[in-house]
Structure 1
Amino acid sequence: MLTQKLGSPRIGSQCELKKICSVSNTDKARPKIFQTGSRASVQLKLLLILLLLCSSQLLFAQQSSLSGKIIDSATRVPVNGVTVTLTPGNHVDITDGNGNFYFKSIGAGRTITISAVGYKKRISTTADFQKNKVFAIVPQQTQLSDVVISGNSANPYKALSEMDVKMRGVSNSQEVLRMVPGLFIGQHQGGGKAEQIFLRGFDNDHGTDIALYADGIPINMVSHAHAQGYADSHFIIPETIESTSYKKGSYDAEKGDLDVTGAVDFHTANAISQNTVKVEGGQFNTYRVLAMVNLLGEKAKANNQSWYAASEYRYSDSYFDNPQHFKRFNFFTKYHGKISANNWLTLTASTLYSSWFASGQIPESAINEGKVAYYGALDPNEGGVTSRTNINAQLLTTLGEHDLLKNQLYYSRYKFDLHSNFTFFLVDTVNGDEIRQREARNLYGYNGSYFHEGYLGDVKVTTDVGINARLDVTDNSELSHTVNRYTLVSPIKLGDITVFSAGAYISETFKFNSKFTLNAGLRFDQFYYKYNNKLASDTTLRGVGVYKENNNIISPKINFYYQATDKTQVYLSLGKGFNSNDARVMAATGGAEGLAAAYNADLGTVFKPVKSLLINTAIWYGYLSKEFVYGGDGGTVDFSGRTQRMGFDLSARYQPVSFLFIDADLNYAHGRALDDPSGQNYIPLAPVWSSTGGITYLSKSGFNGSLRYRYLGDRPANEDYSLTAVGYFVNDLVLNYTQPKYEVGLTINNLFNVKWKESQFETETRLKGESPVDGVAFTPGTKFAALAHVSFFF
């Protein structure tokens, strides 16, 4: 193979150098020309020539390559994603998961510039850096001028995500998802239920078409009792999040199931620089307490060992007339340490418990007729209980030539019990239509990958290969017709579900020069489904017993990156993704159309016209093939045809002065169902126009804050657009006074107290004793809600 591995010298072995540089003491075989009267002079000249040859080759060996590691000066842990620039020549590398960077050929007299968002820029010469390959960078207030547009980054959203997390922070669990430009969420079943997600013209439901991960653990639950891909991220404590990486579209070979509109990875901090205690309290009987503490001292930190724990408890009655009595408890702990010269071990454990009552969705007609208040409830028994416990072990091994080997094992124990009533007395005019969805699940998984950088001539080649395996074992997945929460009227679905999926991928990145980079990837996924039906009355199946099906899919990806200037990157991404289907759909349809293929294309650019302005814009296209869908609320299997979407995204980040940061995102999507006639082919609830943005103020005196907005335009609520899901414009305000030892602050949601509808659906409903009505049912968004907090740092 022609590839030259990292760090391999261009000269011969040490023994060969000794042969070149050695001078024999005997002259028996010396040619006669060297036996003249000027013999000593000639010998001296020859010796000098050989010494110069050796020294030049040794110098070349020293200057032919350069490698190093970047660590955080406060936590002493490696920093991933740091931009290292070698000038002159403007050669760029990005640190890997272990903080390593590498240059094949550096020459003499070069300058190294180390840049990372939220850190002081560091400049050194190659001669100085050779003496200290471990380089500590110092945290500082984030500056947009620190952002480097690099063709080495295979993620065009890298700069945006880094800036947003550093500048805006994460104040609550909902803000975790809102970090993705163009992503909107809606809550319609109380604070303990996963949010409804909207992105790129998709109503992703609770995660059907978007893949979410936390430290490599999949958040989505396949064949869930409520919805395929159900993704409840509330087990993440917001203050533990160090960074968020995301990609729109299905262009990453590493990502498999549910990667249709994109994927989001949440990364918790490997170490914390200080302890924190935080207390919050506000309207609607809302309060929260948080503690984050280091469990090891400074001596352990110096030895590359970190262990901390975080825990939170939250309670709220919320703004509804029917108190939610919402409770959530979270605990999280993480160990990250260097256990040998080449191995880093990361261990995490977390647990979540949450319970709540919900006001649910209210028909517009009932409010207009005065039968229920805007913030009222028609069935006060709605709500649920859920829990999730995670154990996660990751081993990062540095092999020869700085190759990386990653191994991850994870386990989750998950329980879910939800009570809903969407139609009230439509079907059962006596008992009502309340349903119960319940499951208990064990989730086992493994992720493994090998990362190698080398050279094919002067072309830098990066290889990333990996495998994923996941086993979901769900006992007694249940859908029942109930009354008063726990009284059974009739069972609808009951069975055990087993889903095993395995995937393998390879991703090759070719950096041809400082301008052009090509990434090509290929992924294969195999699925095995088993459903043990325990209910003879289930009409979607052929009786009780075990149903087995399997399916597979191949997903190619290709990405082009062109570094037009040191301030401008242009990219074209093409890829195929997919979402899997519910095991009960596979059982009912004999495995037909089990995997829905999605085809995506993006053409975009990231550029900085001036050092204080960052812009990302893209036009995109998406196509989703036909699929069968399991209706978790009714236990039925529905069919939907092909859909097509296209649109554009525009994001801008501007920092006119060091203490002021302005951000704005504008998104447009045009979506239609391809198999339906014109005028009846709208995609219900699909976002059309949306925008978010805000102004953040950061002063050296400690005063800081932000004023933000969210805008979601009107959109069709049904296929012929005879019903409208009304848009909204909402503002939030955050004010803080931060000092080294403490912080006090105030957060206000819905600053101007507008009435808005957070989640909306076309629903046929019937109130008791009345006729059915087909219209929009909705959950109102929050009223003006103020929450104060005080934090102590030590």
Structure 2
Amino acid sequence: MKRIAYLSPLALAAACCCTAVYAQSAEPTLKPIEVPAHYDNAVGTSDAASQGSIRAELLKNKPALRPGEVLEFVPGMVVTQHSGDGKANQYFLRGFNLDHGTDFATTINGLPVNMPTHAHGHGYTDINFLIPELVERIDYRKGPYFATHGDFAAAGAADILYRTQLAPIASLELGARGYRRGLVAGSGLVGGGLKLLGALELSHNDGPWALKENFNKTNAVVTLSDGNAANGWNVSFMDYRARWRSTDQIPERLIGQPFTGGTSTGIFDRFDAIDTSNGGRTQRSSLSGQWRRSGQGMRDEVSLYAMRYSLDLYSNFTYFTKGAGGDQFLQKDARTVYGGSASRTFAHSLAGKDSSTQFGAQLRHDRIRVGLFDTEQRNITNTTRDDSVRQTQTGLFAENSTQWLPMVRTVAGIRWDGLQTNVNSLSLAANSGKASDSQISPKFSVILGPFNKTEFFFNAGKGFHSNDARGTTITTDPATGLPADRVPGLAASHGIEIGARTEAINGLQSSIALWRLNADSELVYVGDAGATEAGEASKRYGIEFNNRYTPMPWLIFDADFAWTHARFANGDFVDNSVDRVASFSATVKRNGWSATLATRYIGSGPLEATNTVRSRPSITTNLRLGYQMSKQVEFGLDVFNLFNRRNDDIQYFYESQLPGEAAPVADRHIHPGEPRSLRLSMKVNF
């Protein structure tokens, strides 16, 4: 495994002198409100019933098998995995199979995580570089109602904010099946009273797979900062590297049957692998910063970031449809990303009413080398696509919030987004070219209340997701040689939501949202085919009901329920959409002890357009026990899949071909959830 590259404090300080910076926008009139439980979702703190903030305390209390599962704390979100732990998770929200991130925008420490025109899937969101101990809070929002968020935010968005100060800690985690993780982190003062935070994380995991995953991760963060959230700046360097072997999804027809090959020497097991050379390696290094200034009813924010990223991913989902050499392929992505944003928010009077307005601009430029190659045992045998891509995304937005009456407030916004693509196809010149697209997206919300600690919301807006740049210039399908249709650069969506939030019952926060979202197209890039396919328009609607109850200071209950109806405009079912999601947790804290029992239910969903084959629902229960022996020493025990249920992390339905089969066979393909596993941890606070 390659060793991590470090940035010295001197180099970081020098970078600070030449780099402008940015932070998340906030209206100057808003004040932080402390509420019980884990969510800062009190009445009067948001513009929609489905918007809120998650405090770091929740991340401490609830167990998470993988870093990506922190997004599962967003009510209604489901996070799974269908391959190795170094690969981006699968995300499901509001009837969307978000694949690896399309239609859900994510940032970490001010950096965009979604990768457009990615080798494995447009909008690819790999948050394995997240260090949970550094998280200060997660701000989430759903639907296209917020002018500050553009690409990939049609279904929702989450901004994960890191700390700039942290009391020094050292922690060690040991678990079943080769799991181990070490973390050292902390902050202190350096010359001139500046704050310097550093964190280094090392981890390894083999998992329950017959093919040991041999997942190795090295992760580092260094942040230099001054000032506070209102007036100050911070510059961060982050570096993440991972390498792993993966067991991809397997066909159900093979489980329990005689099979010699891959990791099986007799009867094929749920945790066996067919192609033992699958896996990958990835790297992500970034330099970013934020600067903010507040005063006299005004707030200015500026951000710049630069990032280098790479991924080599070897996969085989169909096994031997192409013959004895197998169907393995390599998806290769290497890019540099530059971007930034700036905004000004100011308080003023509008028609004699208290008002605030925010103006902002956002810019992102990706320089990408992206390719798809046939491989055998990780040796390239054929090039399907190899492209050099330049794409630039520009966004301008304005948003106004006005308090018209003591119990009537409106938020009106508008965005303009532009996309320019330049594709140089190195494998098929006919697919080269330039394209551009733009869209104007209005937004509008009305907030009524509070009435007896209850408020009501109406939200409407237009949003979008961009499409893979290669689809905007394509003329020939690189896999078949047949003519292919170009796709627009931006695909619009239209959403509406009616909701309410109440604290009428002492200690209980409840919210309900009825929503609808129509998408002009479910356009996606099919990574293992090397082509962009245009899907039908789609329609979704649903209900979400979220509850936080603190009957006593030492006892907290969380309960979330979501139901979704998803269809294509022609009436077909949306593949892999999840109809029902529910989660429940109870947390107890007394006399240095803590315990959290958390259960997640994932309902059934259609695996193909006719709804003839559906996924099986699953229930997973996790347990976290903690004991604070002293101010300095804490112990923890996590038990994942407490009842050892035979769940599947993911289910698909498609054709594949095994040795001895004369033709491809349509079958359910699964990636099993992990069996019961334990992890022990010790944290020392200095």
Match of 2:511 among 608, 616, 626: 616
Q: Where do residues 529-548 of structure 1 align in structure 2 (5 Å cutoff)?
A: 529-536=421-428, 542=430, 546-548=432-434
Q: Where do residues 500-511 of structure 1 align in structure 2 (5 Å cutoff)?
A: 500-511=392-403
- Cα distance in 1, alignment partners of residues 230 and 616 from structure 2: 56
- Cα distance in 2, alignment partners of residues 730 and 478 from structure 1: 37
Asked if the contact 1:144–1:613 (Cα under 8 Å) also holds between the matched residues in 2, the reply is no
Query: Which residue matches 1:233?
Result: 127
**Helix, strand or coil at the partner of 2:430:** coil
Query: Which residue matches 2:10?
Result: none
- Cα distance in 2, alignment partners of residues 159 and 210 from structure 1: 15
Q: 1:115 to 1:406 in 2, by over 3 A?
A: closer
1:177-232 Cα distance to aligned partner (Å, 9 max, x none): 11111100111111000001100000011011111111221100000011000011
Query: Which residue matches 2:365?
Result: 471
Q: Does 2:527 match 1:636?
A: no
Deviation for aligned residue 1:742: 1.0
1:651-678 Cα distance to aligned partner (Å, 9 max, x none): 01111111110001100000111125xx
Query: Which residue matches 1:201?
Result: 95
Deviation for aligned residue 1:591: 5.4
Asked if the contact 1:144–1:611 (Cα under 8 Å) also holds between the matched residues in 2, the reply is no
Q: Does 2:328 match 1:434?
A: yes
Q: Does 2:517 match 1:625?
A: no
Query: Which residue matches 1:39?
Result: none
Q: 1:522 to 1:367 in 2, by over 3 A?
A: same
What residue ranges of structure 2 are gaps of 5+ in the alignment? 1-23, 260-267, 476-484
Asked if the contact 2:56–2:136 (Cα under 8 Å) also holds between the matched residues in 1, the reply is no
Match of 1:331 among 185, 196, 220: 220
The share of aligned pairs that are identical, in percent, is: 28
- Cα distance in 2, alignment partners of residues 253 and 637 from structure 1: 28
Match of 2:439 among 553, 572, 575: 553
Query: Which residue matches 1:671?
Result: 566
Query: Which residue matches 1:571?
Result: 457
Query: Which residue matches 1:703?
Result: 593
- Cα distance in 1, alignment partners of residues 464 and 340 from structure 2: 20
- Cα distance in 2, alignment partners of residues 99 and 505 from structure 1: 15
Asked if the contact 2:28–2:347 (Cα under 8 Å) also holds between the matched residues in 1, the reply is no
- Cα distance in 2, alignment partners of residues 114 and 397 from structure 1: 17
Letter in 1 for 2:218: F
1:704-743 Cα distance to aligned partner (Å, 9 max, x none): 0200011011111111122221110010000000231110
Query: Which residue matches 1:383?
Result: 279
Asked if the contact 1:167–1:696 (Cα under 8 Å) also holds between the matched residues in 2, the reply is no
Q: TM-score, normalised by structure 1?
A: 0.78
Match of 2:605 among 709, 715, 723: 715
Query: Which residue matches 1:763?
Result: 654
Query: Which residue matches 1:724?
Result: 614
Asked if the contact 2:385–2:530 (Cα under 8 Å) also holds between the matched residues in 1, the reply is yes
Match of 2:208 among 319, 322, 336: 319
Query: Which residue matches 1:71?
Result: none
Asked if the contact 1:413–1:441 (Cα under 8 Å) also holds between the matched residues in 2, the reply is yes
Q: 1:670 to 1:176 in 2, by over 3 A?
A: same
Asked if the contact 1:279–1:288 (Cα under 8 Å) also holds between the matched residues in 2, the reply is yes
Q: 1:342 to 1:383 in 2, by over 3 A?
A: closer
Letter in 1 for 2:306: Y
Query: Which residue matches 1:289?
Result: 182
Deviation for aligned residue 1:460: 1.1
- Cα distance in 2, alignment partners of residues 513 and 374 from structure 1: 61
Deviation for aligned residue 1:115: 4.1
1:210-261 Cα distance to aligned partner (Å, 9 max, x none): 1111122110000001100001111121110010011110111010011111
Asked if the contact 1:295–1:309 (Cα under 8 Å) also holds between the matched residues in 2, the reply is no
Deviation for aligned residue 1:514: 2.2
Deviation for aligned residue 1:458: 4.1
- Cα distance in 2, alignment partners of residues 342 and 204 from structure 1: 35
- Cα distance in 1, alignment partners of residues 56 and 449 from structure 2: 21
Deviation for aligned residue 1:769: 2.6
- Cα distance in 2, alignment partners of residues 684 and 164 from structure 1: 36
**Helix, strand or coil at the partner of 1:609:** coil
Match of 2:669 among 777, 781, 787: 777
Deviation for aligned residue 1:629: 2.6
Query: Which residue matches 1:492?
Result: 384
- Cα distance in 2, alignment partners of residues 253 and 99 from structure 1: 13
Query: Which residue matches 1:10?
Result: none
Q: Where do residues 198-347 of structure 1 align in structure 2 (5 Å cutoff)?
A: 198-272=92-166, 274-296=167-189, 305-338=194-227, 343-347=231-235
Query: Which residue matches 1:189?
Result: 83
Asked if the contact 1:723–1:775 (Cα under 8 Å) also holds between the matched residues in 2, the reply is no
Deviation for aligned residue 1:114: 7.8
Structure with bigger helix share is 1
Q: TM-score, normalised by structure 2?
A: 0.90
Asked if the contact 1:551–1:591 (Cα under 8 Å) also holds between the matched residues in 2, the reply is no
1:504-546 Cα distance to aligned partner (Å, 9 max, x none): 000011111321110000000010001110113xxxx726xx4
Asked if the contact 1:463–1:509 (Cα under 8 Å) also holds between the matched residues in 2, the reply is yes
- Cα distance in 2, alignment partners of residues 414 and 737 from structure 1: 39
Match of 2:34 among 116, 127, 131: 116
**Helix, strand or coil at the partner of 1:284:** coil
Deviation for aligned residue 1:166: 7.0
Deviation for aligned residue 1:170: 6.9
Q: Greater RCO between the two (CA within 8 Å, min separation 6)?
A: 2
Deviation for aligned residue 1:456: 2.8
1:281-312 Cα distance to aligned partner (Å, 9 max, x none): 01001100001121327x97xx5x42211111
Query: Which residue matches 1:41?
Result: none
**Helix, strand or coil at the partner of 1:542:** helix
Asked if the contact 1:451–1:462 (Cα under 8 Å) also holds between the matched residues in 2, the reply is yes
Query: Which residue matches 2:269?
Result: 373
What residue ranges of structure 1 are gaps of 5+ in the alignment? 1-95, 103-112, 118-141
Asked if the contact 2:559–2:583 (Cα under 8 Å) also holds between the matched residues in 1, the reply is yes
Query: Which residue matches 2:623?
Result: 733
**Helix, strand or coil at the partner of 1:310:** strand
- Cα distance in 1, alignment partners of residues 403 and 626 from structure 2: 45
Q: Does 2:554 match 1:659?
A: yes
Pairwise CA RMSD:
2.2
- Cα distance in 2, alignment partners of residues 147 and 413 from structure 1: 36
Asked if the contact 2:83–2:246 (Cα under 8 Å) also holds between the matched residues in 1, the reply is yes
Q: 1:721 to 1:542 in 2, by over 3 A?
A: same
- Cα distance in 2, alignment partners of residues 350 and 319 from structure 1: 30
**Helix, strand or coil at the partner of 1:365:** helix
Deviation for aligned residue 1:336: 2.1
Query: Which residue matches 1:65?
Result: none
Asked if the contact 1:757–1:780 (Cα under 8 Å) also holds between the matched residues in 2, the reply is yes
1:421-474 Cα distance to aligned partner (Å, 9 max, x none): 000001x21200000001110000011100111223541111011000000001
Deviation for aligned residue 1:489: 1.4
Match of 1:178 among 40, 65, 72: 72
**Helix, strand or coil at the partner of 1:174:** helix
Q: 1:165 to 1:526 in 2, by over 3 A?
A: same
Q: 1:156 to 1:215 in 2, by over 3 A?
A: farther
**Helix, strand or coil at the partner of 1:725:** coil
Deviation for aligned residue 1:618: 0.7
